[in-house]
Structure 1
Amino acid sequence: MRILLLSAYDAQSHKYWREGMVAQFPEYDWTQLALPGHHFSWRIRSNSLQWALSERATLDQPYDLIIATSMVDFASLKGFVPNLANIPSILYFHENQFIYPPSQLTKKPFLDPKLVTLYAALAADQLVFNSCYNQQTFITGVRALLKQVPAKLPVDLAQLFEEKSSVLPVPLKSLNVCDYTGVNGSALWPKRVNKACLRLVWAARWEYDKGPHLLLAILRQLKQRKVDFKLCILGQVFRKQPLAFDSIKTEFSSELVQFGFAKSRHQYLSWLAGGDIILSTALHEFQGLAVQEAVQLGCMPVLPNRLVYPQIFASHYLYDSFPNNHEKESIAAADLIQEFPLRSLKNDSALAFVQQLLWPNIKVKYQQLLDFHTLPNSLSNTLPKDS
């Protein structure tokens, strides 16, 4: 079977999923097109044009199945390359833009990314989401957006999308903590002088939607309480970044042991393996791969009680969520962090859930997804007809 795999905004998690799927199914003939994960607004709006003009020979090949991420302007791509129109297609959602948190810096209406994804969902035969939370917020967001359309549409698109959608998480590669730690733990971390010294890890893109200002507030809370900790800040760094990171670098220079993108995948995992707590302050998260990998390597999750987290982690790993009040939320997070030494930093229930997402435990579901090409593939089969 020949499969065309399209990733229009190939950020780290998207690349992780794409490469993992290809590696797990070497018996298929894969053709991959991927665009770098930066310049988001331009990328999501122009990817179909770029591919249609620069990859026409590749796109015109006969394929049995197309798998595209939801960042692909799939409706436009089908228009530019008519040969793609009748090939069975799956749209995979790593995230959706319908609940992107509003920023004080955002002045323009955040409409284009929503419409591109909506049109792509209409053009695809099947929709697959990485979590129930992602699926639910997309359907709800579509319904809310279409209520604003001046002319009422004759078809309930939200219901249509719900009927042709399913949930299938990004599978995790199996990690062995011993591969990333020595006898005394990860060699990257300084040796503990005080046994009570906590090793905190924060691993996310250095952008507004990952909550860096809340992270700063939590760190200030811990310092005010005289909590002994070392701090590892990981994640993709961009040319423009929130000012909170400058404050963190200045105020917590004595606590910081890592500040920025890890030099290699092995080094990144070694930082995780040597940590005690993986802290999230996210305002926009749909699966949380970084958290799940950290848990797999022994970290205790400390997460806000919002987004996808309540669906996958027990309540004792969650701090109260006050996204519009950093002070209250930072107090709740600091309280939870201080509790964990009393619990001996056990992450048993979190680890049990994460292990369900390993490739050996979920591969059969991906096999069923790839077998989708045997089903009817015409969009006209999913849209209601006039009576």
Structure 2
Amino acid sequence: MTVLLIEAFYGGSHKQLMDLLQEELKEECVLCTLPAKKWHWKARTAALYFMQTVPTNPNYRILFASSVLNLAELTALRPDLGKLKKVLYFHENQLAYPVQNWKERDFQYGYNQILSCLVADVVVFNSAFNMESFLTSIGKFMKLIPDHRPKDLEKIIRPKCQVLYFPVRFPDVSRFMPEHKLAHLENLIGVKSNGDAYQFAGLPGQQKSRALGGLMKNSNVCHESGLCEAQPGLCTTQHEGLHSPLTAPERLNKSEASESTNPCQEEDKQHLTFNLCNIWSGMDYQQRPLHVAWPHRWVEAVYCGCYPLCPKALVYPEIFPAEYLYSTPEQLFKRLQNFCKRPDIVRKHLYKGEMAGFSWAALRGKFRSLLATEPREDL
């Protein structure tokens, strides 16, 4: 069995998912991509490009693609691919993506996604909110057509749909997590060793917090906020896709860095960083600055010890317990004000939400099932 993975926007979370699937499937898959640039043009023209570049293979059984690709165009241009089990994955949808004015929404992008859903065999969304916001918007969206509008498209597409959360490979954060939060994190996402799953019990420090999981976000939402506390050693840790919240304090010491004989040398930068950490490590724990962050990746943020403070809207109520949500800007202001006055509330807090369900250990079997099918006689 061969799985054909197609990603028309190979960057960010789109790339992460494809890389994870490719790692899981190994020689069972073929990956075809376009770079993550000018997504508007990728959405318009990627099908024509892949028509010419996707190699023919009689062993193909499944086609997995993100919704950036116009799947209807590709399968029309390549009838051999149209015979496969076609799985379409929605990281976001163009019917609910934020725009300043409904009339400013480009009809073509949403129309492409609707067509792709109609030809797909399985349509997968990364959250229930993403799925419902898409399906329930189809009727209103199609009313933009001046006449001879198609009917009942939601009823046709909905039976194909399911929710499968996005898995994220977390970095090792044990070096800067306080002990009480690290222990709590292990309880939240600790799993027994099984295949590629991880077992926390008895593992050394850096291996304890190796885990997979994921939450989806909408980066264009207003009034997003998160709270993160400064931890000893945090500024010494740099991970791909994970920026240290201590960037601002480092900039405060910019004058000290400029006096270095060669501030571009790695040794000098590390020396400055460690000096900052040494200074903060001598401070009383409760006196250290409380950092307020607006993360684009909310789990990762919670996984790293942040206290989530999210709007009571969009996908957030689906993921976070009610105590982490606010309804109005005034509520946000009051809670931030309280946290600034009492940073110990954040520092002592242990996250009460669910994390294990977003780990690769929990999701791996579902993705494997999604990418499995019985060979068809006409292939």
Q: TM-score, normalised by structure 1?
A: 0.65
Distance in 1 separating the partners of 2:35 and 2:124:
22
Equivalence for 1:197: none
Distance in 1 separating the partners of 2:177 and 2:220:
31
Distance in 1 separating the partners of 2:105 and 2:113:
16
Deviation sequence 1:294-351 (CA, Å, 0-9, x none): 22222222222221111110122123245xxxxx47625634643663253424213x
Q: 1:86 to 1:257 in 2, by over 3 A?
A: farther
Equivalence for 1:374: 374
- Give yes or no for the alignment of 1:312 onto 2:319: yes
Q: CA deviation at 1:235?
A: 11
Distance in 1 separating the partners of 2:111 and 2:306:
38
CA contact (8 A) 2:4 2:29 kept: yes
The 5 A counterparts of 1:16-35 are: 16-26=16-26, 29-35=28-34
Distance in 1 separating the partners of 2:107 and 2:350:
40
Counterpart among 68, 72, 77 of residue 75 in structure 1: 72
Q: 1:255 to 1:148 in 2, by over 3 A?
A: same
Equivalence for 1:263: none
- Give yes or no for the alignment of 1:91 onto 2:88: yes
Equivalence for 2:38: 39
RMSD across aligned positions (CA):
4.0
CA contact (8 A) 2:168 2:360 kept: yes
Equivalence for 1:365: 366
Q: CA deviation at 1:128?
A: 0.7
CA contact (8 A) 1:129 1:167 kept: yes
Identical pairs, percent: 24
Give the total of aligned pairs: 294
Q: Which has the larger radius of gyration?
A: 2
Distance in 1 separating the partners of 2:144 and 2:70:
22
Equivalence for 2:50: 51
Equivalence for 2:344: 341
Q: TM-score, normalised by structure 2?
A: 0.66
CA contact (8 A) 1:319 1:336 kept: no
Q: Which runs of 5+ in 1 are unaligned?
A: 186-206, 223-227, 237-251, 259-273, 282-287, 323-327, 379-387
Deviation sequence 1:21-40 (CA, Å, 0-9, x none): 222233x5111111122212
Q: In structure 2, the residue corresponding to 1:178 is in which secondary structure?
A: coil
CA contact (8 A) 1:278 1:299 kept: no
The letter of the residue matching 1:100 is Y
Deviation sequence 1:227-276 (CA, Å, 0-9, x none): x999x9x999xxxxxxxxxxxxxxx9778679xxxxxxxxxxxxxxx997
Deviates more, 1:43-52 or 1:295-304: 295-304
The 5 A counterparts of 1:1-387 are: 1-26=1-26, 29-53=28-52, 55-56=53-54, 58-59=55-56, 62-103=59-100, 108-149=104-145, 150-153=147-150, 155-178=151-174, 209-211=220-222, 214=223, 279-280=293-294, 290-321=297-328, 328=330, 331=333, 334-335=336-337, 337-338=339-340, 341-350=344-353, 353-371=354-372, 373-374=373-374
Q: 1:16 to 1:148 in 2, by over 3 A?
A: same
Distance in 1 separating the partners of 2:68 and 2:141:
18
Distance in 2 separating the partners of 1:5 and 1:178:
34
Q: Which runs of 5+ in 2 are unaligned?
A: 182-217, 242-246, 254-287
Deviation sequence 1:361-385 (CA, Å, 0-9, x none): 22121122122x239899xxxxxxx
Distance in 2 separating the partners of 1:305 and 1:336:
19
Q: In structure 1, the residue corresponding to 2:352 is in which secondary structure?
A: helix
CA contact (8 A) 1:176 1:297 kept: no
Q: 1:52 to 1:209 in 2, by over 3 A?
A: same
Q: 1:135 to 1:108 in 2, by over 3 A?
A: closer
Q: CA deviation at 1:46?
A: 0.9
Deviates more, 1:62-71 or 1:340-349: 340-349
CA contact (8 A) 1:87 1:377 kept: no
CA contact (8 A) 1:9 1:43 kept: yes
Distance in 2 separating the partners of 1:254 and 1:93:
38
Distance in 2 separating the partners of 1:377 and 1:132:
35
Distance in 2 separating the partners of 1:33 and 1:275:
46
Q: 1:166 to 1:253 in 2, by over 3 A?
A: closer
Q: 1:366 to 1:168 in 2, by over 3 A?
A: same
Deviation sequence 1:179-201 (CA, Å, 0-9, x none): 56799x9xxxxxxxxxxxxxxxx
Distance in 1 separating the partners of 2:335 and 2:5:
40
Q: In structure 2, the residue corresponding to 1:302 is in which secondary structure?
A: strand
Q: In structure 2, the residue corresponding to 1:64 is in which secondary structure?
A: strand
